[in-house]
Structures are given as structure tokens and as C-alpha cells.
């Protein structure tokens, strides 16, 4: 798996986790061809932590 795929998977997984967390969470929908449509608020600190972890080789 290359770095780009690792990052893409980590970001999508975190966005999906946030979307399932609460009613106020963002609505995340695949938009095709490498795009995702997001409506709502994103916890950037959590997203940054996931990206940093995947760059460092974390789970």
C-alpha cells in the first residue's frame, strides 16, 4: 500500500467515524472519482491526529 492510499483510507475512516458519532456530525457521501461530499462540521484536531498517525505508521 502506498502513502497516498494509506492517507486516503485514514481520512475517509475518520470522516466516517465522525459522521456516525452524533446527530450534529457531518454527513459524508462518496461523490465518485476520488471525491467525497461533506455537509456539516469536521473536528479538524481529530482529523489531523489521524493523518499524523498514519504518516508515523500508526494504526
Read off the pLDDT of residues 15-26 as tens digits, 9 standing for 90 and up: 888 888 877 678
Rounded to the nearest 10 degrees, the angle between the axes of helix 3-21 and helix 44-55 is 150
Strand partners, 36: 30
Cell reading at 21 = 458519532
What pTM did the predictor assign?
0.74
- Summarize pLDDT for 33-49 with one digit per residue, the tens: 888 888 888 889 999 99
User: Looking at the predicted structure, is the pLDDT value of residue 58 above 70?
Assistant: no
The secondary structure element, H or E, covering residue 17 is helix 3-21
Amino acid at each position: 500500500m502506498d502513502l497516498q492510499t494509506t492517507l486516503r483510507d485514514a481520512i475517509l475512516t475518520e470522516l466516517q467515524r465522525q459522521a456516525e458519532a452524533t446527530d450534529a456530525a457531518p454527513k459524508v457521501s462518496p461523490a465518485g472519482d476520488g471525491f467525497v461530499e461533506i455537509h456539516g462540521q469536521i473536528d479538524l484536531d481529530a482529523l489531523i491526529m489521524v493523518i499524523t498517525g498514519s504518516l508515523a505508521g500508526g494504526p
